[in-house]
Chain A
Amino acid sequence: GDSVTQMEGPVTLSEEAFLTINCTYTATGYPSLFWYVQYPGEGLQLLLKATKADDKGSNKGFEATYRKETTSFHLEKGSVQVSDSAVYFCALSEDAGNNRKLIWGLGTSLAVNP
């Protein structure tokens, strides 16, 4: 079945460092891909998404490109802030445009130190 694999955390960075969180997937169809963020004590929020190959999702300085050839959707940010400390989840839908059920990665915890 479809699956999502994220790099294990925790990831600890200093402020203004470059961030990469790796996400790879296996899917039989043409999924949409998502990154969600969960700040401490809160629910998950959609951070960005991409619905087809080569699409780049971006939001709040974060970016991720849908790479079909490497089945990846890595999250990047050029300069992290303390306020970016959170847990980040990669997810895919079963088919493009139909995410009645998302398949979730286990989450990667990010801690940014001042």
Chain B
Amino acid sequence: NAGVTQTPKFRILKIGQSMTLQCAQDMNHNYMYWYRQDPGMGLKLIYYSVGAGITDKGEVPNGYNVSRSTTEDFPLRLELAAPSQTSVYFCASSYEGLYGYTFGSGTRLTVV
């Protein structure tokens, strides 16, 4: 049972480059989320999805985009990377909110 799988684990981007952070879950969870975690800070919600084809903005969506074409996958797209996007990114999923969230192991992104 893989749970939530995030790739890559680490990435260094140059300013202005783009990339996609991948997130997949095999638990048939309908809700999925993207968070960023800055050093010494809590979690900030970037985007979330309550099912395939449905996405919505969280607290800090600027500079990011998402799509949810299947129940399993929820990729996060960074366009025109900026140093302010240096962070650790976590994907999470939940089934109707009944049992809490399951988190991936994170992607550590550095923009230089």
Contact = CB atoms under 8 A, between A and B. Distances in A.
Interface in A5-46: 32, 34, 36, 42-46
A106 B41 contact: yes
Interface of B: 4, 31, 33, 41-43, 45, 48, 50, 58, 90, 92, 94, 96-106
Contacts of B103: 43-45
Nearest to A9: B40
A89 B90 CA distance: 15
Q: Interface size for chain A: under 10, 10 to 19, 20 to 34, or 35 or more residues?
A: 20 to 34
8 contacts: A43-B90, A46-B102, A98-B96, A100-B31, A101-B45, A101-B58, A104-B42, A106-B41
The 4 closest A-B pairs by CB, nearest first: A43-B103, A99-B97, A46-B100, A106-B42
Given A43-B105, A100-B48, A107-B42, A34 B100 contact: yes
Nearest to A6: B42
Contacts of B48: 100-101
B48 to A, nearest CB: 7
A45 B3 CA distance: 12
A97 B105 contact: no
A49 B100 contact: yes
A93 interface: yes
A102 interface: yes
A97 B42 contact: no
Nearest to B105: A43
A100 B94 contact: yes
Interface in A38-83: 42-46, 49
Nearest to B91: A43
A60 B26 CA distance: 26
Interface string A79-98: 00000000001000100011
A93 B105 contact: no
A107 to B, nearest CB: 5
A42 to B, nearest CB: 6
